[in-house]
Amino acid sequence: MPLDSHAFEIAAPDVVAEDFGSEVVVLNLANGRYFSLLGVAADLWRDIVAGHRPRDLIGHLLARNSASAEAVRLYLLALLNESLIRPIQVSREIPPVEQATGIVALDSGAEPPMLEIFDDMADLLLCDPIHDVDEDIGWPVKRTPV
């Protein structure tokens, strides 16, 4: 799905996010990948989940800096391609784009956003210690399929 006129939300329940102030950590429970969002990447995540439409964010930047607009477009497409966000099913009030913290940061010369992807713990995050155990051997040995 392209970044058209939709607003987006966190793709819960498969995706959870925790905002630590200077970093937002996002976890895709469906595939075990997790993501570190720092700086403008975290700001843009907050903007998107607050209801800002990607089209508005990118359009605002195009008038000022086409390189920043393209970097934001690619970043937001990466969020969508990683299934971290989905279109909002219910419409809600859209905040003015000038209030978007990512836009303010980029207008002030911040570095473009980057999506850091980690899958080194996917096996651990995807394991099910309640159901994926052998009753005789225990955990962490996975039960053998019958």
Percent pLDDT > 70 in the chain is: 82
Residue spans of the domains in the chain: they are 8-126
Residue whose entry in the numeric block shows the structure tokens 């939300």: 9
Query: How far is it, in rounded angstroms, from Cα 90 to Cα 7?
Result: 9
**What is the arithmetic mean of pLDDT over 117-144?**
68
Bridge partner residues of 28 (DSSP): 15, 33
Query: How far is it, in rounded angstroms, from Cα 88 to Cα 82?
Result: 17
pLDDT at 90: 65
Mean pLDDT taken over the chain: 85
- pLDDT tens column, 45-100: 999 999 899 999 999 998 887 888 999 999 999 999 999 999 986 667 777 888 78
Query: How far is it, in rounded angstroms, from Cα 73 to Cα 58?
Result: 7
Question: Does the pLDDT of residue 30 top 60, yes or no?
Answer: yes
